[in-house]
Structure 1
């Protein structure tokens, strides 16, 4: 069963808004494993400005800010970003965090070559078509400075939910109201064009457990 991409995207936005409203701080205060790795990688490359895509309520954003990075956090949930700003203010690090409500299906609201590093935990494997992913990757290349690093995580085709639930086509399957685009190796390789693909690390997270890849790549 397939659906119009615009309708699916709008439905996912509403779903995440209500999810954050009903479950404030749903992912807790501790950073993801991927963010810890990314911070180490960004520090090693002497990055200062970090763009985070799909920040949600900001557990990883706040971790980056505490580590001394200036973070631009984008998410399509105004509720999630409000929670992020409130926590940043309470923690005394609001001066290192900028938030913008944004749907990554649209051009990124940043100038060319404006950030040293980009991070996206589980954002690319949301309800984005393969064509939309290629467009987003072009935008990420545009805003990243030469030599900059992009670290992202995605659920992959080895995950137990792959091929089950409601099919939206293009390897997108929906469970419990959440639509996921499951990645295969070919898609990771395609999206790395124009980058130097480094590590593709397989790990598990959360219930089920979810099977993910953590991809680290550098702009050539």
Structure 2
């Protein structure tokens, strides 16, 4: 079941419009430095011998460009065309245009990639966007489909220990909205369920930002 706003609108579509306008008003809003989870993920991916990375929810590209600088070939997706245009300009400016490809994509739909076609997948706070539990499960199934055997998936999510959990505008299914941004807060049981059939390597708790936001960084791998 899709989450909806109080006036019956599809919450994910409302969020798409909100992110489009936010990226338009604040180009490069997260800066040029990579996120700490991306730095960690790059080291994990390198250790496993990965060469190509799929980033979901790449936004304006600070992490995608970092992966490219580290020598990976990067496929970056986001549902904001505005954010991805900023990413493409950044790749061109950094001489990385040949290593980074982009695609506007809604993760509620099947990933536009063949089976077993990527070595690693990264998503920083993408899974905890305005997605229902059913949609999140479907997305992880798609990630499993496109990963090669032995492939690694690193993702981060805000969890139910976060100060914003249970406050703001409630949309059901552990989704709460603050300042126009809707977040699906993860209980630990959901992390464990999403790792069914995978090897769950790590669930690392960390904090980010001024609130601070409380997150888990999850690393899981497919069997070979």
Query: Which band: TM-score by shorter chain?
Result: over 0.9
Equivalent residue for 2:41?
Answer: 38
What per-residue deviation string (whole Å, max 9, x for no partner) do you get for residues 18-50 of structure 1? 000000000000000000000000000000010
Counterpart among 188, 193, 202 of residue 190 in structure 1: 193
Matched, 1:125 2:134: no
The answer for the alignment partner of 1:218 in structure 2 is: 221
Q: Which 5+ residue runs of structure 1 have no aligned equivalent?
A: none
CA–CA separation in structure 2 for the residues paired with 1:39 and 1:109: 23
TM-score (structure 1 length as normaliser): 0.98
Q: CA RMSD in A?
A: 1.0
Alignment of structure 1 residues 91-102 onto 2, 5 Å: 91-102=94-105
Deviation at 1:151, TM superposition (A): 0.2
Q: 1:207 deviation in Å?
A: 1.7
Cα separation, 1, equivalents of 2:27 and 2:11? 24
Aligned residues: 219
Query: Which residue matches 2:11?
Result: 8
Aligned residue for 2:72?
A: 69
- Specify which of 42, 50, 53 is matched with residue 47 of structure 1: 50
Q: Secondary structure at the match of 2:153?
A: strand
**Distance (whole Å) between structure 1 residues aligned to residue 123 and residue 198 of structure 2:** 16
SS at match of 2:183: strand
Structure 1 consecutive aligned stretches of length 4 or more whose deviation exceeds 6 Å: none
State which of 196, 200, 203 in structure 2 corresponds to 1:200: 203
Residue 183 of structure 2 aligns with which residue?
180
Q: Which runs of 5+ in 2 are unaligned?
A: none
SS of equivalent to 2:161: coil
